[in-house]
Amino acid sequence: MPRHHRETHRTERIGWLRAAVLGANDGIVSTASLVVGVAAASAGRAEIMLAGVAGLVAGAMSMAAGEYVSVSSQADTERADLERERRELAADAPAETRELTAIYVGRGLDPALARQVADQLMAHDALGAHARDELGISEVTSARPVQAALASALTFAVGAALPLLTVVIAPEARIMPLVSAASLGFLALLGATAARAGGAPAAAGALRVSFWGALAMALTAGIGALFGPVG
């Protein structure tokens, strides 16, 4: 009995994975940087927490709005392209069949087979065939604004909560170094996990997010020290 060959692909993760990684990374980096900057200005725990919580709420809403608007623009473009393709199919189906045939010839099929494939796909689902093979739009990669907005807001809030938790449990005199160290650890873990989920090397993913996080915290710490103390 033949054994079935099962393949695991990660393309279907692109939409939510991008939004989730961006949200969590931004939540950790922006909140940790804010906390470190305020702490460097000699603020107390209460002031640091207030700034951090405000940053969490504002950042989560900003991420949700930004993702929704940007992905909605992509969805609008996709719908406009599909509508145009629908009109072209209605106006001149033979020309659209020739166009599809040329695409398949360009991908390596001989002209006779390419025409046969184009004819069969046009008969089955003409708009779907052109959306996928001419426009590059498929069910897997199509824009989903609400999904992207919710994923970004939720993961931003989760990411932002991690440095705030460190503020709560750290001794007040050591908030800045402990938040910095813990946040870099969270970022490295996030980068490695996201890279693994996408099939990329974990070490490279951890390194790139940690580098930018460390740079952001160093800059805000410098600004806090320069303009502190508070009060």
Helix, coil or strand: residue 2: coil
**pLDDT higher at 22 or 138:** 22
DSSP code at position 200: S
Rounded Cα distance between 18 and 66, Å, is 14
pLDDT, tens digit (0-9, with 9 covering 90-100), for 61-77: 998 898 888 888 888 88
The single-letter code of the amino acid at 23 is G
- Going by C-alpha positions, the residue among 143, 141, 140, 161 that lies closest to residue 23 is 161
**pLDDT higher at 16 or 127:** 127
pLDDT, tens digit (0-9, with 9 covering 90-100), for 17-46: 666 777 888 899 999 999 999 999 888 899
Contact call for residues 130 and 85 (beta carbons, < 8 A): yes
**What pTM value is reported for the model?**
0.69
Domain boundary assignment for the chain: 13-88+146-227
Give the CA dihedral 117, 118, 124, 126, nearest 10 degrees: 160
Q: What is the mean pLDDT of the chain?
A: 83
